[in-house]
């Protein structure tokens, strides 16, 4: 911005002219670019040599890529979680997880760290289980390998989804006393401000959900119920075998 002072008899006017094109407004020749100093050129050359070389090929990993260079390892601590200082991407549940691109392919950083640290090649279907329950942790001491069923079991046992175990045990206590599902739902709403559907409470009584929580009375009740249903089914089949045949009542004109 160029400021021009215009002095008059009565006042001083200040006019501001926006110089968008220096050559057009000022009429002077374009100023030549300044040469880059030697120390800047030397510094850029050192930085270029320090950069990690891109891996060639698809789904290949080379020794020239140092993943641990961008991980805060807290001096190799086994207790603390190691944070990834690079980019993050969204996971399967829309949560951000540490990611790295190798050979134009995206990988979770903790999977790469586990393979490099242990030397074990992860197979198809293997999932990473974090003992610290932090999906962004890259500490190999907090990582174990398992299947998706093991991951779901850990999720239920550590109360990461669903109701807290305390609430489930409270429901089990009321069911063991002979309370109906409607009564239990009402008491949970009054005592814990929880809006539970009656079908969920019935599934808990039949041991269809929260089966990982020990409940001897519920196991015995579910086993007795299955036995009664099987006896009833067998008695009906013995009295009228035709009841087991599914008749098709659809007429020819129906579509």
Q: Is residue 93 part of a domain?
A: yes
Please classify residue 138 by burial: count the beta carbons closer than 10 Å to its beta carbon, then call 0-12 exposed, 13-18 middle and 19+ buried.
buried
Averaged pLDDT, 154-173: 86
Averaged pLDDT, 10-15: 40
Alpha-carbon gap, residue 189 to 62, rounded angstroms: 58
Averaged pLDDT, 156-179: 88
97, β-bridge pairs: 89
Most trustworthy range by pLDDT among 44-58, 149-163, 177-191, 235-249: 177-191
Regarding whether 232 and 211 lie in a shared domain, the answer is: yes
Helix (H) or strand (E) holding 42: helix 38-50
Regarding whether 194 and 229 lie in a shared domain, the answer is: yes
Regarding whether 216 and 181 lie in a shared domain, the answer is: yes
Q: Is residue 33 part of a domain?
A: no
Regarding whether 73 and 146 lie in a shared domain, the answer is: yes
- Per DSSP, the three-state class of 15 is strand
Regarding whether 146 and 74 lie in a shared domain, the answer is: yes
Give the pLDDT band of residue 43 (cuts 50, 70, 90): confident
Regarding whether 201 and 143 lie in a shared domain, the answer is: no
Q: Is residue 249 part of a domain?
A: no
- Least confident range from 30-39, 49-58, 202-211: namely 49-58
Overall domain count for the chain: 2
Q: Is residue 41 part of a domain?
A: no
Model pTM score: 0.49
We report the CATH number of the domain holding residue 71 as 3.90.75
> pLDDT (tens digit, 9 = 90+) per residue, 96-121?
888 888 877 888 899 999 998 988 99
Structural domain boundaries enclosing 129: 67-157
């Amino acid at each position: 911005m160029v400021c021009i002072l215009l002095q008059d008899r009565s006042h001083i006017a200040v006019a501001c002219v926006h110089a968008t094109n220096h050559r057009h407004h000022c009429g002077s020749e374009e100023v030549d670019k300044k040469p880059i100093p030697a120390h800047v050129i030397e510094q850029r050359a050192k930085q270029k040599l320090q950069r990690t070389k891109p891996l060639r090929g698809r789904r290949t990993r080379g020794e020239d890529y140092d993943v641990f260079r961008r991980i805060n390892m807290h001096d190799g601590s086994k207790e603390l979680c190691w944070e990834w200082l690079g980019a993050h991407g969204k996971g399967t549940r829309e949560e951000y997880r540490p990611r790295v691109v190798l050979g134009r392919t995206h990988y979770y950083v903790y999977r790469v760290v586990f393979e490099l640290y242990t030397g074990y090649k992860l197979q198809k279907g293997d999932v990473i289980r974090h003992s610290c329950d932090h999906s962004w942790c890259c500490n190999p001491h907090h990582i174990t390998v398992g299947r998706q069923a093991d991951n779901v079991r850990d999720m239920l046992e550590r109360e990461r989804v669903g109701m807290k175990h305390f609430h489930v045990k409270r429901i089990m206590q009321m069911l063991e006393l002979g309370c109906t599902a409607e009564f239990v739902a009402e008491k949970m709403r009054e005592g814990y401000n929880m809006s539970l559907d009656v079908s969920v409470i019935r599934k808990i009584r039949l041991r269809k959900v929260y089966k990982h929580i020990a409940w001897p009375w519920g196991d015995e009740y579910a086993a007795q119920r299955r036995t009664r249903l099987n006896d009833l089914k067998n008695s009906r089949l013995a009295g009228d075998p035709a009841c087991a045949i599914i008749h098709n009542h659809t007429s020819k004109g129906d579509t």
